[in-house]
Structure 1
Amino acid sequence: MAKKVVATLKREGGISYAKVIRAVKSEKTGSYTFKEEMVPTPMVQETLKK
């Protein structure tokens, strides 16, 4: 199923996407969790600045 999703994201004339994975520290336990987002390639730097 993942192959189908990747194939639809890479069609010609479409926007290219990047997967951004960030480690977020929990305030309660102090452990880290990972948040994944699909972001248009030109907006990757803006997303990482948040």
Structure 2
Amino acid sequence: MAKKVVATLKKEGSAMFTKVVRMVKQDNGSYAFEERIVTKDGTKDFFSK
């Protein structure tokens, strides 16, 4: 599945996308991962939250 996502993100002529992953601490002390596919311009906004 990862190969399909990477191939889709690198299509010619389309907007450039990036898959980003961030660790989020939950209330009970454990960590969860938040994954999204965003445009290259939106990566800084994703991590600044």
Shorter-chain-normalised TM-score: which range? 0.7 to 0.9
Q: What's the secondary structure of 1:44's corresponding residue? A: helix
Counterpart amino acid of 2:4?
K
Question: Matched residues, percent identical?
Answer: 49
Aligned length: 49
Please, what TM-score do these two structures have when normalized by structure 2?
0.78
Q: Which runs of 4+ in 1 moved over 6 A?
A: none
Q: Larger Rg: 1 or 2?
A: 1
- Shift in alpha-carbon separation, 1:35–1:3, aligned structure 2, 3 A: same
CA apart distance, 1:13: 1.0
Distance (Å, rounded) in 2 between the aligned partners of 1:4 and 1:19: 12
Indicate the RMSD between aligned Cα atoms, in angstroms.
1.4
CA offsets per residue over residues 19-40 of structure 1, 9 Å max, x none?
111111111x210011111110
- Listed as ranges, the gaps of 5+ residues in structure 2 are none
